[in-house]
Structure 1
Amino acid sequence: MKAIKNSSKLLLITLAFLCAGVSFSQENKIKKADKEFDRYAYIDARAIYLKVVEDGFASAEIFKKLGDTYYWNSDYDNAAKWYGRLIDTFPNDADASYYLRAAQSYKSVNNYDESDKLMEIYAEMTGDNLVIKNFEENKSYLSIIAFLSKNYELEKVSINSPTSDFGAAYYGNQIVFASAEGTTGSRTYEWTDQPYLDLFVADKDSLGRLTNKTPLSNAINTGYHESSAAFTKDGNTMYFTRNNFIKGKAGKDKDKTVRLKLYYATKGEDGNWDNVKEMPFNSKEYSTAHPALSADEKKLYFASDMPGTLGMSDLYFVEIEGDGVFGTPVNLGPSINTEARETYPFISKVGNLYFATDGRPGLGGFDIFSTPITAEGAVGAIKNIGIPANSNQDDFGIIIDEKKNLGYLTSNRDGEQGSVNDEIYRVQFSKCKIDIAGIVVDKNTGLIIPRATVVLLDSENKEISRQEANDKAEFSFPNEECMTQYTVRASKTGYEPNEEIITTPNQSVKLSLKIPLTPLKVATNPCADNDLGCRLNLQPIYFDFDKSYITAKAEVELAKILAAMRLYPELIIHIESHTDSRATFSYNERLSERRAQSTLQWLINRGIEPRKLTARGYGENRLTNRCKDGVECTEDEHDLNRRSVFLIQNGNENIDNSANEREQH
């Protein structure tokens, strides 16, 4: 490994692990809109299908409908669950659109491995298109690269010196960082032949440019290394890294190595730093370094090679329980840490964890990665932040204010001396903005559809914004990001939802979209009010020839009736069974009666009260077409007469208009 970054290098020697100083994921889930059956007043389709599945029955139709009820309401966690079950259980019944929706849903819950697999299948099913093109490009760039979706540039800050400068930290309107230029004491660090590191402070203007570099405090800086600090928002408490050195003495481990330790200090009434104390979990036998505070300042993150570390160094956190009281260090675990080195954590105001590692695929040396992290320490998808932040050298120590599009990082990319060439770079995001606008139209007529709901979603299918199109069917989402993937989704009562996936260009423009919606087909023969089988869209029920027992396939459909009766105990159902005209009249009458009673008994055996059920077989008495005895008909025409009817009893009225029941010859 190349020379160390003074204090980071300090880690190579002292820590033997830290070389160089070394989606938006806000869960704005859309309120679920209950999808009741559009043709039946009080039966909620989702609730019934959930009950069906709860009872152990499954079909591709049920999983599709369940997935769609969640997907189109942007509840991707549940959509992923049901699309996943659809694809796992009935892969041949899921068309390409369901693989795409499943992939998008899995991304929204940070299951990128599963999403990638589904996208591969989607690519095989559909061939080349824009979605697949973007997917392939993202894979070739190591992962979904956060900063690649933003137009930004790096600029060296003016306070860099010929020695190592690294590890910026926010300190009110100033920046504190480590430098070996003009530091305390006359001794040099033998590993780099450079002076030991001290902490310095610099002024920061409105553009983030740094001036007036001065030592932070003689109460903090010593004759050994000080580096990488973190400050509370009020500026009255600081945490920082230092060699095992306090009260003028250096502490060494059993191998005579001076390790790194974390310290904290508070400001006195005179404004000076005093009362320096070391953290209670330090040890002379291992190193702790590079502190970072959570956005709520209740946790302190840091790097260490303490016992329990998975690799050469891991990221940990401790709870800040009170003034000088800290919890037990918690390893962030294998979701973050590897067998190599993880170091230099930083938590942004919006809850993203940035860190450096050489244990994940990168461009060379240390690369910077990011991931959303919750208040409990749970992390999401980890992303390499890409070029130009990362290079083929060491890149680390990023801090960033994502709301101001401004930050700092450290890199030795422009030198050949390893950490000696560490320099601080200012990160400035471009002002490039995109206006996404358009209209919603009827796909069949081309006429505008006023007042449609239009939703803007990010690349992980999380909602960014929603609005109602105006009377001219126009919508507009201004000031969106360049080089970013978005989905624009439109919906309106009476139409199928539709969406357009776009990738914005790298310069400010106004994008104009036209989103077509397909009118829902109006049923020419709608279900009768009391026809429960029709309302529940029962699929054909098969009986073996000359048999009346309920088959496994029939059970899936009957489970819908069972779920409806459990969900709505006031329902009273009459079961009718019919046959076609083939075979003798008396045979068909007996066969239909056996099947009607078998169906009734199936429901009773599963807890439905007998008083809520009646059943009767009608044989071939109620044919729905011309196919009576002696008339030649096709098999499909005979099918229409072999049916089971589930009627909600309403006085004396029963209407025969229901799902088919096919005999299996």
Structure 2
Amino acid sequence: MKKRITYFIVFIVSTMSAYSQKSSLVKADKSYDQFAYFDAIKTYERMFYKGYKSADLLEKLANSYYFKADLQNAAKWYGELYAIKKDLSPEYYYRYAQSLKAIKKYSKADEMMAKFSQMNGNDRRAKLAVEQKDYLAIIKKNSGRYSIENAGINTEYSDFGSSFFGDKLVFTSARMKDKVYEKKSPWTGEGYTNLYMVSKSADGTLSGVERVSGNINSKYNASTAVFTKDGETVYFTRNNYLDQKGKDKAILLKIYRATLKKGAWENITELPFNSNDYSVAHPALSPDEKYLYFASDMPGTLGQSDIFKVAINFDGSFGTPENLGDIINTEGRETFPFISEDNELYFASDGHPGLGGLDVFVYKVETDKWYKKVLNVGETLNSSKDDFGFLINTTTKLGYFTSNRDGGLGGDDIYKFKELKKIQYPCEQFLGGKVTDKALGEPLEGAKVTLFDSDYKMLKVVIAGSDGKFDLGPVGCNEKYYIKTEKADYNSIEVPVVIANESGTTFVPLMLDKSVRELKVGDDLAKVLELKTILFDLNKSYIRPDAALELSKVFDVMEQNPNIKVDIRSHTDSRQSSDYNKKLSERRAKSTMEWLIKNGIDRKRLTAKGYGESQLLNKCADGVKCTEAEHQVNRRSEFIIVK
């Protein structure tokens, strides 16, 4: 009987324990589904250490830390998950890789990224990982360009997202006025964020923290503001919350605009592209204030969040938001944009190869043409943890950014930096040009353009468009190429091109001669055929080999056109006596004629005469001081069609 009672008690205890575990799991899952990661983590960890282990629990526990940006703990729990379940979905390999970077286990992280790439090769993050296998070496090239120190305004809570406001700095903080009674965010376990303002000295030192007054701050999150240069308009982020009987249902974010009236922020309105179905956050203004940049997961987003821009119209209305595309955006997170006065777009991303968590990247605009590559700004600004919220004054080179790196006071801290050296953009060159009719200057649509490298290996073939233009795409800087151009009824040409050793576009104009040209009486075949100057040795009249090469072109035309007759005219410059020059030119004209006759042209089709210095083309007569080049103009042979 005693045994049966014991067994019954054990059964009751076991049943109660199982019920308690199930109840706890339901509670934790509910917190997780409501993005209350702070509460979910406490329950999941307690259940794990009591012996309850499952793939689902470990997935949610690791994700909770990952979404809270605590990648160090995320790495621990993704490791536990990987130990009991090898067939993870691709995204878990990616998150595990990112988390491993946070604890500087880069080799293991690369191993996980390789698995991710094998399973999800079309993902932009996978392609970048394959393209930049030496990403750590690439990052190192632009490292060490900043001196960094704590900004001096941080607390034990999260402080982040700064912006310039005249001689002030406005930033976001979760610091609490009343630690006992103030409401906390279930996502972070900290107080809701508000906007604060601090004075900024010439050397970037900050002092005198005060809460931004007015109705911008609310009882829920307000963050990441940007101000127009006149200080009269602000764009800022606020929760898209529904307040029903004090129960917080805040999940999404919206951007609002407010104007300054008599020292107070008024006319607070949300922007028209906000939604209750997606988030819009972290506004930034272009230098000319004609565009607003922001992060969002609105329809058309490539990843978890993308960078968008939208035109601000003259009347204050807005255009249609435009995704910045897959050069910048990935399937990961791109967020916290900032546009410098040098037209450089800085943003945070965990989709591009980085050191861990969010890294700061830059993308440059040059004369309205985007460069094709995103660059990591390097250490020490970037670390193995989250680094974001980049802000810089391009004149003073002073700026601020946010990081949750080791050694900080709170979850996120604001750091001050000075840029010591500009980032080095890789040389990028693009090759293009235009094909035209040499005589008429008109574009030649349909011309075939072939690109060869310096070893004459064919690289690419393109066809000129209706405007005669062609685009051969990216080419190597400081490299030599050959461009061959062909079109029916035109003579083909081939030109060498040496590409500059600096970023830009090399534009090559290509002019084609018609292979069949109409000849008329009075035309000079020397000009039609663009003959080089037919040279004779000093005081001589015999035909040199180089002169024979040019005369062969005249011979070819006369052979193909048996009805034309040509008058050969030889001219000299004014040096030597007039009589001497006349006789010399006569000998040269006849020597030229005899060469053509010897090679097969009927004597009846040729006449020859020397004009000496009697038909000068410029001022270089006797006694006039001229350069050698000016005299050369007068030393010429003409082949005039007389029939």
TM-score by length of 2: 0.49
Choose between structure 1 and 2: higher helix proportion.
Answer: 2
Specify the structure having the higher radius of gyration (Cα).
Answer: 2
